[in-house]
Structure 1
């Protein structure tokens, strides 16, 4: 369930271009001992970095010296390849509660269909509102408020817009375009 929570977050996080569950394994020898490690998740970030993520329920597993040594070796291998490595605890994936509920709500709307014309309408509305654009503005640009919010959430999963998830979602939630203004036309093509 912890890995699933991470995957839901990856789908909603506009800084994540792509992610894979258990995409590969490391096999290496350290101090004469053979280690095998299967990465929980690998993410391609918007800045071009690859990040390998280990998910744990809590810190107890990290207290095992053999396991900690294995993770240190994996972190070093990642650094040598120019990748990032980090361990994420369950508490980071579910707290604060409002944020987790928003992630779940947005992710649950990922399959809502939208057209290129919707993308143009939303980006034009954000452009008109500037830094003060809200989810209400986006929904109004699409006509129907409920359908507009669902489309906006699907657009967040598609990395077209970013909705602030730090407070309960409402018409006042801040929205911005993910792509720089110069490349917005590329999004709607």
Structure 2
């Protein structure tokens, strides 16, 4: 795969939302002399790179219900992004550091490993590079590497986005709600809970409220109903806006 000549290297525009207008095309890297780019994907959705200590920043393992496995993370921003992705309704599957690009630039082999991969319900694949802020792009060689990766993704129908740490959370309320729901992702959901949820949907329709749905799921114990509802949100059976304060009257959509 060739890269045409260009005068400047440009970094992909930082975007968090998966929706919205398509990002503008950027100029190609005139220093890339590769005729092809190899994209490597971990067979089991695991990480292609892992670290156990020895880094200047935090790193560890995240147990994901959506991924059905543990995910490796580096830095607090990546951990926060994985937490948010776990409860985002449009996200069907999430993987961490499971995709790698290899190509040549200035006669030297370049390797880039993606931070996070998201799969949407419509089949759209989005690759995410997570950074603290704009200061992480001071190196022109690194910017050129990202520009080359972005072009490869664009040509193959893959979305490539850069997310800064301040973009992950809309507010403190958003962060607290996501953290709470994510902490309930492995709560046991019994068959009768699902039956009660579906019966509630038949009675009131797909649009309900947080309080009425929690009470319908577990009539004998409201707290159990809330915990199961939160687990079902991670399982994509219930959708609601976690950027707003959570109340009994909060609208929810049953799927």
Range into which the TM-score falls when normalised by the shorter chain: 0.7 to 0.9
State which structure, 1 or 2, has the greater radius of gyration over its C-alpha atoms: 2
TM-score (norm 2): 0.66
- CA distance in 1: counterparts of 2:88 and 2:177, whole angstroms: 12
User: Contact 2:173–2:244 at 8 Å: present in 1 too?
Assistant: yes
**Structure 2 SS opposite 1:79:** helix
- Structure 2: distance between partners of 1:107 and 1:101: 10
More helix by share: 1
Structure 2 CA distance, aligned partners of 1:165 and 1:159?
A: 14
Residue 253 of structure 2, aligned match among 171, 176, 184: 176
Cα RMSD, aligned residues only = 1.5
Give the TM-score, by structure 1 length.
0.88
Structure 2 vs 1, CA of residues 128 and 164 (structure 1 numbering), >3 Å: closer, same or farther? farther
User: Are 1:19 and 1:44, in contact at CA under 8 Å, matched by a contact in 2?
Assistant: yes
Q: Which runs of 5+ in 2 are unaligned?
A: 1-75
Aligned partners of 1:164, 1:128: CA distance in 2, in Å?
22
1:127 and 1:86 map into 2 onto residues whose CA distance is 39
Q: Structure 1 residue 78 and structure 2 residue 156: aligned?
A: no
State the alpha-carbon separation in 2 of the partners of residues 64 and 156 from structure 1: 40
| Change over 3 Å in CA distance of 1:177–1:31 after alignment to 2 | farther
1:104 is the counterpart of 2:215: no
How many residues in Structure 1 have an aligned counterpart in Structure 2?
Answer: 178
Shift of 1:45: 0.8
Q: Which moved more, 1:31-40 or 1:87-96?
A: 31-40
Say yes or no: does 1:8 pair with 2:83: yes
Structure 1 residue matching 2:253: 3-state secondary structure = strand
